[in-house]
A and B are shown apart, each in its own frame.
Chain A
């Protein structure tokens, strides 16, 4: 079974940091570009970042550029999102996803709440 399981979310103060993880199973993780997509409470989907199969190519939404870093460990079948200088507007459910056409897959998300 193809599966993505996110973890690492929680409550953090403004200006703080969190590291999200996404464990992949049931498919050849190293063959796919991977993405983070977020959804603020009651709002729509917003693409956050993507990373190439070998990690050499990354791209970010303007809203997180310079604060978030996407990375991956293909040996551990795991995707990461390091989030620094967090703001209230970063509060959202964070999904990892493959966005890979016929092989599209999404996790169930991990909730990040930025509040004092």
Chain B
């Protein structure tokens, strides 16, 4: 069974840099599945932050960046701000090509 794994929580002080990891476990799929990252602020719908591993949609600040190596991806947030606090989800694909979300990571700004 395919699984996308994220840490349940991360935290950082304002101005600091934090990273959120995402591991895609797909025994029958190669390492070229894309990973996308979504931000969900409290009470809001999700919003795309990063698509295809490292691309930022227009309007997303360059404080947010993504990377991927093999079956592991990371979201980095620099210059942490209080209104970055919320949940962050990575999304990839299972072995049949269907979309699959990670369990989400709660970011707390200390």
Contact = CB atoms under 8 A, between A and B. Distances in A.
Interface string B66-109: 00000000000000000000010101000011111111100000
Contact of A102 (B57, B89, B97, B102): B57
Majority SS at the chain B contact face: strand
B95 to A, nearest CB: 12
Interface string A18-58: 00000000000000000101000000111100100000000
A47 B93 CA distance: 10
A47 B55 contact: no
Interface residues of A, number: 19
A1 interface: no
A39 B12 CA distance: 26
Given A101-B52, A106-B47, A47 B38 contact: no
A37 B104 CA distance: 14
Contacts of A99: 36, 91, 99
B36 to A, nearest CB: 8
A66 B96 CA distance: 17
Contacts of A45: 38, 40, 46, 89, 91, 101, 104
Interface size, B (range)? 20 to 34
11 contacts: A44-B87, A44-B101, A47-B100, A50-B98, A59-B98, A101-B48, A101-B57, A102-B55, A102-B57, A104-B48, A106-B47
Interface of A: 35, 37, 44-47, 50, 59, 61, 95, 97, 99, 101-102, 104, 106-109
A38 to B, nearest CB: 10
Interface in B1-54: 36, 38, 40, 45-48, 51-52
A49 to B, nearest CB: 9
